[in-house]
Structure 1
């Protein structure tokens, strides 16, 4: 592996005031999104939607990279330009989701493990030829009665590290995404404990499998109350609890942390990131790698045909999160918009 290329790309992915657009929804996931606006899930509609996002004028000011679904990596914009080439022309780094999804973990009820390692080395060669310079693998950790088990955490950490090592062998920067889900009724303290256990296991495996920390980006959840918890932690508490876990478990060698939004509201995801950056400086850059929190407003505004309205909504959310990555966001900016 070329350590210089990996480090330079990783640092560019977490550049000052810029973050990563997660536009890697699978065909099944985007069908749910399209159903919410009454749009049929067809290849031309998926292409048109991604074209709207990627041709938003000025979004590159706030966006360092885009995670693509495999179909999108090999598609072209409506003007015929391959999507990776279009993004690169704007100074936006193309990336690719490489995992095959979370499946039931054998011998562990209600727990999941992400699959997709078989054939990954060969697929990475193909993706790099198509223009991808980084990749993403999402592990899912569920909070529930007696779970997550150590077995589940370590199975997912091991797979994440194997994926990361294969990426770096191909000079592709791995985004390492261990997501502790926020769907249960757990308190923020439980989320903090599970996130701590998860990150400890992940970095133990990364070290054991010789992954270059300077050539990766971490994409964790924020430490947050479960959606069904009657006592929701406030924004300041979320920010401080998240930083406490990260400072315990994430080595300073990692160039940056690009948070997932994990089902938070658009504004909460922005506000939490902003507060964390206001509490800086930190050993690593803190930025965003949001899917729904960047796209929900744009999807609704687009509605299947209004590209200009979709681009306007996309640019606004990208700008708000770009400011949050600098610690310069204020709620008044949302009201003004």
Structure 2
């Protein structure tokens, strides 16, 4: 059973979801973008302490609690950590932000034009821990590089199979089969993905819903049928390598899709900023992404 207040926020909230879930492999790049070079840490513990400091600064900033951010996706270590003396999921919900957890363990090598998710043998234990900490939902990512009907069907099947397990634990799965925006077959990938997701949604029991996190489609409003599908709680968009200006311009063309940006949200934040400068920069990004999520062309 989903928390009804969190569910209402996710289904009806006028805002977007912040993606703060960079994992071990992408953390050095995220820190570099933040102005922290590799020589600032000598091991993983020091690296994760620095990225946790960045995330804590974000979630405690005044602008983050403005009501424009309705959800946040966390890395496991962030979920287990504290900000402002409180467990991060607790602090988020006190600020009106619904907490999600990244649960995938990374990607397999490409095969049949796609990268499936690696096995998650400890998923059940992680889901129980997340639920106990007040987390509402999860996110898991796989990647589509080519317009392979069999590859895309396999990716979507895997996503929905894991989503079923997540729903069994009382959490909301956010399904993320990312289409690589640099793919020469991007438009065809979008079309095949729509077809495969629709098949899976139509087969879901009437009492189950999922969220979808999708690359912004090449054709505006291609995913409108997913936005309107009764088994979908919300469709959110990843920035996928677009700059914030590019991502917001594309998102604004798509009715019903809201942002779930990572790099595009954080791109102007720097470790050296004063707290006032940091909050002003973050607030400007939040305002721009919020507008693209709620005001459509």
The CA deviation at 1:101 is 0.9
| TM-score of the pair, normalised by structure 2 | 0.87
2-structure distance, mates of 1:96, 1:292:
17
Decide whether aligned partners of structure 1 residues 139 and 325 sit closer, same or farther in structure 2, where only a CA change above 3 A counts.
same
Tell me the residue number matched to 2:70: 64
Determine if the alignment matches structure 1 residue 292 to structure 2 residue 263: yes
Question: Which segments of 5 or more consecutive residues in structure 1 lack a partner in the other structure?
Answer: 225-240, 278-284, 330-337
The CA deviation at 1:291 is 0.6
Decide whether aligned partners of structure 1 residues 116 and 307 sit closer, same or farther in structure 2, where only a CA change above 3 A counts.
farther
Tell me the residue number matched to 2:135: 132
Pairs within 5 Å for 1:1-337: 2=1, 5=2, 9-36=6-33, 37-39=35-37, 40=40, 42-60=47-65, 61-77=67-83, 79-105=84-110, 108=111, 111-143=114-146, 148-184=147-183, 186=184, 190-208=185-203, 210=205, 215-224=209-218, 241-243=219-221, 245-248=222-225, 251-253=228-230, 254-277=232-255, 285-298=256-269, 301-303=270-272, 306-327=274-295
Tell me the residue number matched to 1:237: none
2-structure distance, mates of 1:210, 1:138:
23
The CA deviation at 1:223 is 1.9
| TM-score of the pair, normalised by structure 1 | 0.78
Equivalent residue of 1:43, what SS? helix
1-structure distance, mates of 2:93, 2:3:
17
Q: How many residues align?
A: 287
Equivalent residue of 2:260, what SS? strand
The CA deviation at 1:307 is 3.7
2-structure distance, mates of 1:8, 1:158:
30
- Deviation larger for 194-203 or 115-124: 115-124
Question: Which segments of 5 or more consecutive residues in structure 2 lack a partner in the other structure?
Answer: 42-46
Describe the superposition over 1:13-37 as per-residue Cα deviations: whole angstroms up to 9, x where unpaired: 2434311000000022011122342
Describe the superposition over 1:189-236 as per-residue Cα deviations: whole angstroms up to 9, x where unpaired: x422211101221332344464855x3221111123xxxxxxxxxxxx
